[in-house]
Amino acid sequence: MQPTQGVLGPRPGVPHQAMFAGAPPGFPTAGAPAAAATTSATNTWDPTALINTLNSMTLQQPDWFMDSGASSHLSNDQGILSSTSPSHTPTNILVGNGSSIPITAHGSVVFPSPTRQFSLSNVLVSPQLVTNLISVRKFTIDNLVSVEFDPFGLSVKDLKTKALLYRCNSSGDLYPFFTPPTSTRAVLLALAEDIWHRRLGHPSANVLSQLKSANAISVAPNKTPATPCHECQLGKHFRLPFSTSLTRTQRPFEIIHCDLWTSPVPSVSGNKYYLACLDDFTHYLWTFPLKLKSDTFSTIRDFHTYVLTHFQCRISFVQCDNGREFDNHAARSFFLSQGIRFRLSCPHTSPQNGKAKRVIRSINNILRTLLIQAGLPPAFWADALHTATHLFNLHPTKVLKNLTPHQALFDSKPSYSHLRAFGCRCYPNL
């Protein structure tokens, strides 16, 4: 048997019997003469120190490394094998520098793992070896597996199904296969991220990232981009997603989306609501603070007159929910006389008026941040509403391919030189 060039060589002069690490000076190690142990114990007998020393000692366990150049499994310690025999043919191992080292025994060893156990048969034992080596060739034949090496470690897979059986990460120059843990924590396999996602009960990506950073789990490198989990989409949604609207407008004011927002805090001017009117084609927004819900219809009627006068356009559809502030006798009569069709969402189906709902959320986000920035109480929300609406129409949006609603409606680029931070102090000159 001639393991070709590898990491073999004469073992340093470390006593084979010294199997304990961390033993203090003067404490007898395994294999030390019995007389020396008796003398040392007689001269320095301290029961407390002895107990502390025994508790602090850890048993050195061997590491195994994969070697594609070795023709046989090689070990430097006969004690780690499950079954051994003193005789073997041949009797020497030819190492890389051309010298031979004797074989003292041969045997076998079994590695446990969470998926299946791996066996090494006909392991050659020579105390002069530096470390324990696994022949990749014999390992794949004996266990019917394949071994894949990558920059992060090695993976052992079933030869037929290609299922991952064992993963061992490597941070050094060699590929360790089996490093016994130094604690009672079980060795975790490097599994795919979607497997850990399912095992942990479908947590968020941030939770998986934190566990991975803390080395609590071992995640195999992902070769393909992660896809959304189907179970998460169904289990974490309060309701099934609505289908995307296929309606596409061809001109400004063809469809106006309307919705009414109720403020939990009345404004200093006595307003409790505001009406949002969004043009579907240009995504331009108008907002109107209201003191009463009953003012909704008169505001929509005035808005219709404004559009007809300044843009010479007629509104074709008004889309809103089925609240009584929109769906009432006066509104239906007016829309019928102007040839405007009413589009109402189904009861308890607010996503059908999703554009208006979403734009109110965007406006409220801007409104709240402006009040916080200026240090004003919530009662000044109506004053911040006008600024928030103006700024919304100056923001580029993906709906318009990064154009602004102002540019889409007026066909001119907006100016930003007049803007000042909301809440700046000013002094009136009377």
Percent of the chain exceeding pLDDT 70 equals 78
For residue 305, name the pLDDT band (cuts at 50, 70, 90): very high
Distance of CA 254 to the CA centre of its chain: 43
What pLDDT score does 21 carry?
33
pTM for this entry = 0.49
Residues with a catalytic annotation lie at: 67
255 with 342: CB under 8 angstroms?
A: no
Other Cβ atoms within 10 Å of 260 Cβ, number:
21
What is the DSSP pairing of strand 273-279 with strand 285-290?
antiparallel
List pLDDT tens digits, range 376-412. Answer: 999 999 999 999 999 999 999 888 888 999 999 999 9
- Tokens 């554009």 correspond to 355
List pLDDT tens digits, range 37-60. Answer: 333 344 455 656 655 554 444 444
Average pLDDT, whole number, for the chain? 78
List pLDDT tens digits, range 92-143. Answer: 887 777 788 888 888 888 887 777 788 888 888 888 888 888 999 999 998 9
The domain 255-410 is placed in CATH, from the list 3.40.190.80, 3.40.718.10, 3.30.420.10, 1.20.1260.10, at 3.30.420.10
The predicted model gives 291-295 an average pLDDT of 93
What pLDDT score does 246 carry?
75
* Continuous segment of H or E residues that includes residue 285: strand 285-290
Query: Which segments of the chain belong to CATH 3.30.420.10?
Result: 255-410
What CA–CA distance (Å, rounded) separates 105 from 78?
7
How far is the first Cα of the chain from the last one, in angstroms, to the nearest whole number? Answer: 106
Percent of the chain exceeding pLDDT 90 equals 33
